[in-house]
Amino acid sequence: MKKADIIFIICAVALLAPFFIFDSVYQAFLWATANYPFVMSFLKFGILSTAGECIGLRIKTGSYNAPGFGVLPRAITWGFLGMLISAAMTIFSTGVPNVLNTIGIAPADTTYGELIRQSILSSQSWYHFLAAFMISTFMNCIFAPVFMVLHKVSDTHIMNNGGTLRGYFSKLHFQQIFVNLDWATIWGFLFKKTIPLFWVPAHTITFMLAPSYRVLFAALLGVMLGVFMSLATRKK
């Protein structure tokens, strides 16, 4: 284990430990998430998903940073993408149960919104699992591919401009980058493998949890999201 690994682990523990040790910190986190969801999504994904990308870089190169990597531009990108993820989770967690209700798949006199406040071991847990699985499936099949491509375009733009803030805010040549993306890796790794094998099951668990735990679990999944996107960027 290198010195950089020890420093990274210490920073991670220092960041996460207060949420488990001090209930007041965790309650403040929940309050801020409920009252300022998009701001908190920006911060959560900006920090955790960027950390995930740094871990992915460490796996591939042995270092958490590199010339042209652009940690700060990546954090800004992940922040805005996190806001999109927050909006998508709200849209799909509201819309998909309505679709299930429309086609007659719903427990009597019980909505999904009520079920998420109950235990998954309740008498209606079959619907809870089904709704969570369908929400995850729809979100990952409809939203996730668009999201992943947007991230790849941004990631390429950052690398093309040397990872600098000035380059990050320069003109984005979207069409040129889009045409030259590594679609074989995007399809063969991100779409074909990570979505069905990891993200659908992971987000099924997310939507089965009570809201308080779901918020933190989804934020921690941002680390894995960053790892996958970083590995896909460097995958030959």
The rounded average pLDDT for each run of 10 residues, N- to C-terminus, in the chain (236 residues) is 86 86 87 88 89 86 88 94 90 85 66 50 66 92 94 93 93 93 90 93 86 70 77 62
CB 64 within 8 A of CB 8: yes
pLDDT for the residue 181: 92
pLDDT for the residue 121: 43
Q: How far is CA 194 from CA 137, 145, 202, in A?
A: 13, 11, 10
pLDDT for the residue 4: 85
pLDDT for the residue 111: 54
pLDDT for the residue 2: 83
Question: Both tokens of residue 186?
Answer: 């995007």
pLDDT for the residue 112: 53
Total Cβ atoms within 10 A of residue 25: 13
Nearest to 233 by CA among 42, 77, 45: 77
pLDDT for the residue 146: 94
pLDDT for the residue 158: 95
pLDDT for the residue 167: 93
Single-letter amino acid, residue 76: I
User: What span, in angstroms and rounded, lies between the C-alpha atoms of 135 and 138?
Assistant: 5
User: What span, in angstroms and rounded, lies between the C-alpha atoms of 143 and 146?
Assistant: 6
Phi, psi of 97 (to 5 degrees): -60, -30
